[in-house]
Structure 1
Amino acid sequence: MNEPIAVLAGTPVDTWMGVEVLRKAGLTGIPFPVSEDPRAQTAFQILPEAEKQAAVAEILRRGMEQGCRKALVYCNSMSAAVDFSSLSKQLRLPVVTPMDVYRRAAGAYRRLGVIAANAQGLAGIERTLLTANPQLDLYGACALPAVLSVEAGELPEELVERHHLAALADWFQSCGAEKLILGCTHFPYFKAALAARTRLPLLDPDEEMLSLLRGL
């Protein structure tokens, strides 16, 4: 039986991106955006911890009321700003986030680059990777303007050019990065356009998150 999966993300756009990832894999997602736009989501992520936890717990409960027995958090920075492990135990609801993928991948690399939406996301990815592999060397950058371009529907090739993302990827590679983590779930939108302009391999957590969801 294909039970629905609650999809939480920062905005309506990346929430529906998460639903679409599930749909292409033959799974059903119910969207639960937490904020109305990327700037509002960034503001949400710096709220007091108890306030964030309560707000997200209420959203997860709504998902459970609609028949969801597992959840996908399709937002890197929110995954870093909210303690989903605690909420999962509290609600007895399995939750998969991009951080689960990074934790499993950390040991395979010596040096990585990370592009995140904001500093909350970057810090959370760093914390997850270094907890799993303290010897890892990391280089990071934040690119909220690129997220806003995705939300606005700008063509992938145009936003890669305008935000100098290929040059940024080349800088990571020049520093010795073995792979570049696309540390925002908006970023698969331009993955193909960026991959065509850099030799640095890109790490997109989508496939591994689907594998983890199926294993629950």
Structure 2
Amino acid sequence: MIRILLADDQPLVRAGLRTVLASDPELEVVAEAADGRAALTAAERCRPDVALLDIRMPGMDGLTAAESLRTGHPALRVMIITTFDEDRYIARALDAGVHGFLLKSGDPYELIAGIKAAMNGGTVLAPAVAHRIVRVLHGGELRDRLAARTGVQSLTPRERDVLALLGEGLSNAGIARRLHLAEGTVKIHVSAVLNKLGLTSRVQAAIYAYRAGLAG
């Protein structure tokens, strides 16, 4: 069972998220908070596996709470879920070492899959967030693009398909649905892609896919 701390200042939003999470028997909301300070207290009291934090909350905001949680609870998987995908929020969240940045407008299934991916050591980005990061990094040199286009030649056609979907910010579950594969098979392909290209994260893979012309 994955124990979840849910922090959002809007009761209706918390209720909606709680309903989505309750649809999966492997997930359990063990604590709720309406601001960042309450989230820190709840984390101390309940010791959740995952903290799901909104950004804009009264008092201590979600990003400040995320930074404190990452420092005080290294094993806790901290994820941001918000309506905002502005660059300054994304950059600060990634600098804080969060394990996910998801949008409330996304597919509920992607939220559940994202939590499970984070528990397995992944970093999960909503597709819109992944695209924004790639656009910010668009100023890379032509040499990087040429190297990426050469590098993908070492991949099998299926691995290139997987890399392209990593470029869209999809989770393993999302890739599995798109390619009609078992999620375990996708996990094997993702590992092969990262190993062959010398990458260490899904974010690096998304950037590589863009440079190689597989994602836009």
Q: TM-score range by the shorter chain?
A: 0.3 to 0.5
| TM-score when normalising by structure 1 | 0.38
